[in-house]
Structure 1
Amino acid sequence: MGNLTVAAIAPPDVLRELGKKGTSSDITFYNLKRDLDTVTLVEPSRYPERLSSLYFSVSMAQAAILVIDEITPQLGECILMLDSAGVSEGYIILRNYLGQDQVEPLFRGTVLEGYRFCEPNWIELKEMLLKHAARVKSDEPPAGSMPHGTMAIDHHFNVKGIGTVVLGGVVKGCLRKHDQLKVLPGEKQAILRSIQKHDDDSAYAVKDDRVGLALKNIEADDLDRGFVLTTDPSVLVTDEIHAGASLIKYWPSPIHEGMMLYSGHWMQFISGKVTTVQDAGDFRHPVLTISLDKLLVYLPGDIVVLHYLEGGKLRIVGSLKLG
């Protein structure tokens, strides 16, 4: 049994060939299933006008599909996003007579150097994705191991006869039916009534599983995208980031105080003002303090992708590691 979540940077007509369309908002899900193996394709359906749409699609992915019809600034932005988020496995499909020699220089020095070039044969691609999913292990951990789990919410709603339901991905550990969950940010708690993986009931969910959870003791109106459900006491909440950053090689100038940067982490995309910058003469490796407009939920050591929405054709700044 395995589940693979894929950032699908491809036209909708291609994605309809690969999976069955599901939940749709600024990100659209397409689902592919064979026996117990499942593939979730996530399309950034409001990109390029919303950079957050691309970030959310990439942030939950273990792999990517990139269908390239032409070389554009948006292609460069997608490459930078995949690289900054560390999505190291993927599939590249070239169309409109593009050759590998035309695109490979764009991938140099990024995670996309390791992606596999494929023909635009959707039946073969579906088979590759399902085989990839089968290699992802999602067995229930032995009793007593992996006691904590954490999930990031991307959609939430009320279902008649069931109550509050959330959709999202498990980002660490294991969640089990009847767990008492902290709802972060905030002080609320909820009971995990039931778990579904691609419409099948399950007693547990582990890292990288795409799940729907039914909750007790909380209303859908109390939740929002980016909220986190967890049993893990090491999950932290902050309104300020202070960390060393690494800027992409194309970023043209130093970060300065007063800049408004957006911090992408899990299903969070939070604006914040840079309040201090220390770069010791190397502007591509500054230590930044960012005052956030909303609370950020994270685990120590997590990576944040930094965005600058006023950057024109270059909106991805770099990344930093949270302490």
Structure 2
Amino acid sequence: MPVLNVAVLATESLLRSLGKISDSRDVESYVYKEGEGPERRILSMIRPLKHPESLRPLLSTLNVADSGIIEVREINAAIGEAMVAYSSSKVANGHIIINPKDGDWIDPEKLSLIRDQAGLESWKIHDSLPDPHEIRSELLSRVRTDTADEEVLVSIDQHFVVKGIGLVGIGYVRSGIIRKHDSVEIYPGGHVGVVRSLQVMDDDVDFAIAGDRVGVALRGVQDNILDKGSQIVGVGSKLLTRMEKSKIEINISVFQKNVLKVGDVVHMSCDLQFIVGRVESVSGSSMVVVWDRPIDVRTSSEKPPLLVQLDAGPMRIIGAITDIHPV
């Protein structure tokens, strides 16, 4: 089903005006559907919870988002960090909605300056709460109806065992198309299984395309092979590269004053994975990181991995990883 995933930092009331809640975990999902049959288009609006206290839900949301909404109740460090995170994740289109707390005022020109410095120049600023129909219409116009000819990758963030069916993984199709009865490999581990069935939006389907949130029932595998961050690819795929140590190039984030040094603990967020590592060497924007376990990641993607440092203060986004290879 053609769908646009939208990363939303906003109040619950704003989201309820745009869609119907469908799921709640470390993020809340709101869905709006328009049209029927092959003409149907879907907005999946994903709201990370506990931000700014917890950074990981926001990063996981940005891993899969192609557009964004930020509601600004006040200008503070958390808003600046969020804008940098969206920009670093290549979320090039979105809406910034000014909705100050009672009695407060937000200067649109100051907010515009922060937006531009963060790299979100193409985002539209609304001086007040817009008509929900206006926002939905603009977002619906960005729903992709084409399916790129890419290798399949499904990133998993939930899993469970269903009696009579077996192991089920829930996640997002990151690229390509996954089909019922496909033979697949699951990483880490390289386990080979077969797609028993697929569900999208609670409907049984024969295939799921990039952007879909999909339930994948697997057969021919043990019940304990999936974890949060597991990756599903086609059998024989070379899409993922295994690394224990990586050389990476970083596009350092604007507003980032911290300089990484040898021994620092960092995390990499990519394809619903949140991987911990330690800096082994640094030379400008290039560094070598040793991961706490072997990892399986893409070395090329339109949406770059993000490197973060959780104890770096108000700006935890170190930057976007522009190149990563094993060493």
The two structures have a TM-score, normalised by structure 1, of: 0.89
Is 1:107 the counterpart of 2:111 in the alignment? no
Alpha carbons of structure 1 residues 205 and 85: separation in structure 2 relative to 1, 3 Å = same
For each residue in 1:104-123, what CA deviation from the matched residue of structure 2 results, as whole angstroms up to 9, or x when unmatched? 01012444110123452223
Is 1:170 the counterpart of 2:170 in the alignment? no
In 2, the alpha carbon distance for the partners of 1:125 and 1:211 equals 25
Aligned to 2:142: 132
For each residue in 1:199-223, what CA deviation from the matched residue of structure 2 results, as whole angstroms up to 9, or x when unmatched? 2333222222222222212355321
Which residue, out of 190, 193, 197, partners 2:196? 193
Aligned to 2:58: 54
Moved more, 12-21 or 52-61: 12-21
Q: Indicate if the aligned counterparts of 1:304 and 1:322 stay in contact, CA closer than 8 A.
A: no
Q: Indicate if the aligned counterparts of 2:112 and 2:125 stay in contact, CA closer than 8 A.
A: no
Q: Indicate if the aligned counterparts of 2:84 and 2:119 stay in contact, CA closer than 8 A.
A: no
Aligned to 2:320: 319
The structure 1 segments of at least 4 consecutive aligned residues displaced by more than 6 Å after TM superposition are none
Alpha carbons of structure 1 residues 20 and 50: separation in structure 2 relative to 1, 3 Å = same
Aligned to 1:291: 290
Aligned residue runs from structure 1 range 1-323, under 5 A: 2-34=2-34, 35=36, 36-96=40-100, 97-118=105-126, 119-120=128-129, 121-133=131-143, 136-138=144-146, 146=149, 148-231=151-234, 232-279=237-284, 285=285, 287-302=286-301, 303-320=304-321, 321-323=323-325
Please, which runs of 5 or more residues in structure 1 have no aligned partner? 280-284
The two structures have a TM-score, normalised by structure 2, of: 0.88
Please, which runs of 5 or more residues in structure 2 have no aligned partner? none
Q: Indicate if the aligned counterparts of 1:63 and 1:88 stay in contact, CA closer than 8 A.
A: yes
Matched letter for residue 295 of structure 2: L
For each residue in 1:12-37, what CA deviation from the matched residue of structure 2 results, as whole angstroms up to 9, or x when unmatched? 22222222222322122112212321
In 2, the alpha carbon distance for the partners of 1:290 and 1:18 equals 41
Q: Indicate if the aligned counterparts of 1:152 and 1:168 stay in contact, CA closer than 8 A.
A: yes
In 2, the alpha carbon distance for the partners of 1:298 and 1:186 equals 13
Alpha carbons of structure 1 residues 183 and 233: separation in structure 2 relative to 1, 3 Å = same
Alpha carbons of structure 1 residues 7 and 277: separation in structure 2 relative to 1, 3 Å = same
Alpha carbons of structure 1 residues 111 and 162: separation in structure 2 relative to 1, 3 Å = farther
RMSD between aligned alpha carbons?
2.0
Matched pairs, number:
310
Query: Percent of aligned pairs with the same residue?
Result: 27
Give 1:251 shift: 2.3
Q: Per the alignment, in what secondary structure is the counterpart of residue 120 of structure 2?
A: helix
Give 1:43 shift: 0.9
